[in-house]
Amino acid sequence: MAEDEPKPSQLSMPLVLDRDLTKQMRLRVESLKQRGQKRQDGEKLLRPAESVYRIDFIQQHRLQFERWDVVLDQPGKVTITGTSQNWTPDLTNLMTRQLLDPAAIFWRKEDSEAMDWNEADALEFGERLSDLAKIRKVMYFLITFSEGLEPTNLKASVVFNQL
């Protein structure tokens, strides 16, 4: 969670809002509505409270998950779900089977500065990122905002130890 700055042997990789990809996925939803069509069987359509984020792995090997560093500047909840493969919405649609379990859920209660999270699931998910980094340069995430939060309220990164 929001702790001290990463140590010299640690690497902090921010989750960055991918505005273009989020926009493209929203256009897919609008296009289906305008044409009166339904989504493909198993296709994941972006809901209004969801946005696409990415991590660009500046180092791919010799990474060991250390912690999530998530800050919400107001009370609310975010759910971070990884995707199992890279995709480009203009070529392929995101499918529900590409969403990874477990998701990491972080929340901040009213009248509290402290962050809470589903620790076991968030740690398991984080550990998987070390393995996924070995085979990817970029990883995409679906972040769901609830209880009044939106992308401007979130600052998130994943901290790795460099082995």
Using H for helix, E for strand and C for coil, what is the string for 109-141? CCCCCCEEECHHHHHHHHHHHHHHHHHCCEEEE
Query: Against a cut of 0.85, is the pTM above it?
Result: yes
16-20 long-range CB contacts below 8 Å, 24 or more apart? 16/53, 16/54, 16/55, 16/56, 17/51, 17/52, 17/53, 17/151, 18/51, 18/52, 18/53, 18/54, 18/140
pLDDT of residue 61: 81
Give the residues of the chain that fall short of pLDDT 50. Answer: none
The Cα 110–Cα 46 span in angstroms is: 28
What is the predicted pLDDT for the residue at 135? 85
pLDDT in tens, 29-45: 898 889 998 888 888 88
How many CB atoms lie under 10 A from the CB of residue 88? 9
